Amino acid sequence: MEINQNMLRERAVKLPDITNNMWNKINQENKDLFDEYFESNAQLSLSTKKQYISGMKQFFWYINVRCKNKPMYEITKRDFIKYISFLTEHGLASKSIGFKKSSVSTLCNFIENIIMYDDTSGKYDNFRNFTRGMPKIPENQVYDKSLISEEEYNLMMSVLEEKENYLYMAWLATAYHVGARKAGIIQFKTEILDYDMVVDKNGNTQNYILSNVVREKGFGLDGSQKRYMINRDALKYMKLWVENRGFDNEYIFSHKIDGKIKLVSKQWANYLCHDILSPIICRRVTPHAFKANLISQKLIEGHDLKVVSKYIALHKDTAVTTKFYDLRSDDEEMNKLF
């Protein structure tokens, strides 16, 4: 079955992983800075640390190959602009380039704020964060983002129900109706199925519960502590899965593999979307699409952006919600212009 990938352009070829042999060729000064940075930043989340390690290693490998393996204190803004151009020409998405830029910028800030004050060699006396004042990275997209319709959702659910795959149904219903990220969904505890529906200040029972606290993206090992609104539709299928899974576990989204009970992984969610859900509706579906989908649907229904941003997207800044998660079409408004 051919699946519409909704691609606007070809995906970039993945940059090569920096092997131990490659890393051994990096300037020792730069490797020492790299090690000290991570030794001094134990508060980084595991996810952020992994991405920063990759970003910094890619940068230093570029410096090794293209800039004669300069030490950090000799690297110039001109060198960094060429690095960004290299990433752009390689075809990386603007978001990926931005994160790689950010990883190098944090290292530069570390040098300015910490290293320079204790450096007695004089090497860093004139060091400046060379990532500042850079030209804006042109935004691009690999995939065309479009809403998942109610018809498509119902089709996916009906196929899964026919196969009695209650775990998949529970995940899909949760992603579609709650809008949590895949890392948040797997943290929902079985105990929430016994939570009472929220009651407002006037004593009216609402159509949702608030989840247990989950760790989302944010500074430090604890990240940002969030509670999601979970409606009756999502709860219905969560309960269906728990009632049929045949074992007890603290977390809803756990399954039994080779006789061992395990929490489903973020990679499992990728598999579900890519290998199971996408073929059903014959177009590309990703875990992250569901968050944007719910946010957009609530805005289409006429709910206030600030309310949707605060309680559905769980963003402090509405600009983030609008920029990355609002998939509403402007076609109708555009047609009114003339």
Query: What confidence score (pLDDT) does residue 211 get?
Result: 95
pLDDT at 83: 96
Q: Which of the two residues, 166 and 332, has the higher pLDDT score?
A: 166
Confidence of residue 162 (pLDDT cuts 50, 70, 90): very high
3-state secondary structure 133-157: CCCCCCCCCCECCCCCCHHHHHHHH
What's the CATH code, domain 150-334?
1.10.443.10
Q: Which pLDDT score is estimated for 292? A: 86
Mean pLDDT over 5-11 rounds to 58
Residue 12 has pLDDT above 70, yes or no: no
pLDDT at 114: 92
Dump pLDDT digits (tens) for 111-157. 999 999 888 888 999 999 999 988 887 776 655 667 899 999 999 99
Question: What would the mean pLDDT of 55-78 be, rounded to a whole number?
Answer: 97
Question: Mean pLDDT over residues 151-167, rounded?
Answer: 97
Task: Supply the pLDDT for residue 308.
Answer: 82
The pLDDT, as a whole number, for residue 305 is: 81
* pLDDT, average across residues 272-278: 94
| Domain over 1-144 is classified CATH 3.30.43.10 | no
Find the mean pLDDT for residues 40-66: 91
> What integer is the mean pLDDT of 72-94?
93
Tell me which of 141-155, 199-213, 216-230, 300-314 is least confident: 216-230
Calpha distance 76→335 (Å, rounded): 49
Q: Mean pLDDT across the stretch 297-308?
A: 85
Section 262-273 average pLDDT: 94
- Could you tell me the pLDDT band of residue 45, with boundaries at 50, 70 and 90? confident
Mean pLDDT to the nearest integer, 226-239? 95
**Mean of the per-residue pLDDT values for the chain?**
87
pLDDT at 51 over 70: yes
| pLDDT class of 330 with cuts at 50, 70, 90 | low
The ranges assigned to domains in the chain are: 1-144, 150-334
pLDDT of amino acid 46: 79
Res 144: pLDDT: 61
Q: What are phi and psi of 104, to 5 degrees?
A: -70, -35
Q: 252: pLDDT confidence band, cut at 50, 70 and 90?
A: very high
Predicted structure pTM score: 0.72
Across 16-39, average pLDDT: 96
Residue pair 31/25 in contact (Cβ under 8 Å)? The answer is: no
Lowest-pLDDT range of 23-32, 220-229, 291-300: 220-229
Read off the pLDDT of each residue in 171-198 and give the average, rounded to a whole number.
94
Q: Answer for the pair 181, 291: CB distance below 8 angstroms, yes or no.
A: yes
Mean pLDDT confidence for 302-311: 84
